[in-house]
Structure 1
């Protein structure tokens, strides 16, 4: 539940942003910026709601109300994130749409320069970038026009069953790691759509999802039955980007 301090911070922030805006027809005004009535009109909410939010009252505006406030206040990206964080609401226009979906430059650079299989994962577990070694190792993952997605590949692509020794155990481990990320971004409709699709298409995913198993994304030995290279073993390493921790760099160092 939102604390008294958070509500006060939220109210002070909304008021400060309101007072910093320039009214369309300012004329001679005793108060700076927009009046509460003008902000309410812009945001299509009641003046009472604006007043209670600014006063830090024990109310909890909906995500839709906050979205309209953010637009009316002309908030920049960081300001919008701050508004929703103080209100403890998921941003319906984000979690990722406002932020860039492209892989951070640090991950792209490392993927391109690591001499072993390496790839980047975005918040939906799409492979946002991958080097040639990774594309060679994960047979079938990069075929076709669809966005390569590690979850879809692991649970629904026939090549994954051949590539991964003890496929079901490995797949359920991947699911448990994904659930940890899902807990942070379950409000994102795109993430939820992935879960819904996989529950429909994969009995193993649906069964594993119901178990509620959660795991860290850990490193360690990973073996693969490659169709041309035979059994190959790597040590997996996973790193997060400092500025975009919802993106991951994964690389596989040959074992031995």
Structure 2
């Protein structure tokens, strides 16, 4: 049940957007004979495919049920922006379905932040864990990223298809199981996403290890932790990592790795000072 306060907010929001939308914007005639600004209630109801009485009750903050289908129709009729549409669903206590994972552009400021974090490895991912941006430190830690096609520049794909990752991660089996559990928990929020489905199908065909772990349905909540690497150029590196949400695009996350000790920090500096990106291992 939607609380009275939320129903009042919903009613006020709908009324404000209805009154701010010119009739001409939806193909109706305007003119000075209109007694109210914007659209009439009956016009919004007709354009949205609902009854006038029902829509009136909605603007009166009555305790009625609002389906997602009706919310989508109202959103289209009132020509809401993506942010306004999300707000409408939130006020109606109807969470939006997860957006499909797409390679959306990374904000230039966020990209600059990723670069500034050198010599600490950092990258930006989407819900399918595609690498949308990364700095030189991360490229040299993992190796061989720049020349990969977009569909293979993906954390899960690299983990299970690149032989060198088994040597790079000191406890690959545990790391792979934990990371796959986090990935599956995230993928479960939008099981019909075409990018994630294509990635899983490709991994099932390419990696017996992935197929075996995936069939066990691992699920794990994300938690900051320490990863242990044995890099072919700089040796042992222990790194703490965490993941931060990107507020302006909820489909993106910033992943940052920080050294555990001063020796680890020096190793990361040596890694970043390599003349060129490290080639893929294995």
Structure 1 residues 192, 149: CA separation in 2 closer, same or farther (over 3 Å shift)?
Answer: closer
Report if aligned partners of 1:180, 1:216 keep a CA contact under 8 Å in 2: no
Task: Give the structure 1 partner of residue 233 of structure 2.
Answer: 229
1:203 is aligned to 2:204: no
Deviation, structure 1 residue 129:
0.8
Instruction: Identify the structure with bigger relative contact order (alpha carbons < 8 Å, sequence gap 6+).
Output: 2
Structure 1 residues 231, 154: CA separation in 2 closer, same or farther (over 3 Å shift)?
Answer: same
Q: Distance between the aligned counterparts of 1:220 and 1:17, measured in 2?
A: 49
Q: 2:55 aligns with which of 25, 44, 50?
A: 50
Q: Distance between the aligned counterparts of 2:184 and 2:53, measured in 1?
A: 40
Task: Give the structure 1 partner of residue 115 of structure 2.
Answer: 112
Give the number of the structure whose alpha-carbon radius of gyration is greater.
Answer: 2
Report if aligned partners of 1:107, 1:241 keep a CA contact under 8 Å in 2: no
Report if aligned partners of 1:37, 1:47 keep a CA contact under 8 Å in 2: yes
Q: 2:82 aligns with which of 74, 77, 86?
A: 77
Deviations along 1:10-53, whole A, 9 cap, x unmatched? 23311221122222222302233212221133334444553343
Q: Distance between the aligned counterparts of 2:76 and 2:119, measured in 1?
A: 46
Uncovered stretches (5+) of structure 1, i.e. residues with no partner = none
Structure 1 residues 70, 136: CA separation in 2 closer, same or farther (over 3 Å shift)?
Answer: same
Structure 1 residues 167, 76: CA separation in 2 closer, same or farther (over 3 Å shift)?
Answer: same
Deviations along 1:56-79, whole A, 9 cap, x unmatched? 3321312x3322211211222321
1:89 is aligned to 2:94: yes
Report if aligned partners of 1:22, 1:34 keep a CA contact under 8 Å in 2: yes
Report if aligned partners of 2:157, 2:203 keep a CA contact under 8 Å in 1: no
1:178 is aligned to 2:183: yes
Report if aligned partners of 1:199, 1:206 keep a CA contact under 8 Å in 2: no
Aligned length: 248
TM-score (norm: length of structure 1) = 0.77
Q: 2:65 aligns with which of 56, 59, 63?
A: 59
Q: Distance between the aligned counterparts of 1:180 and 1:47, measured in 2?
A: 42
* CA-atom RMSD in angstroms: 3.4
Task: Give the structure 2 partner of residue 15 of structure 1.
Answer: 15
Q: Distance between the aligned counterparts of 1:52 and 1:175, measured in 2?
A: 47
Structure 1 residues 104, 20: CA separation in 2 closer, same or farther (over 3 Å shift)?
Answer: same
Consecutive aligned runs of 4 or more in structure 1 exceeding 6 Å deviation: none
Structure 1 residues 29, 144: CA separation in 2 closer, same or farther (over 3 Å shift)?
Answer: same
Structure 1 residues 221, 166: CA separation in 2 closer, same or farther (over 3 Å shift)?
Answer: closer
Bigger drift between 196-205 and 162-171 goes to: 196-205
Bigger drift between 35-44 and 246-255 goes to: 246-255
TM-score (norm: length of structure 2) = 0.71
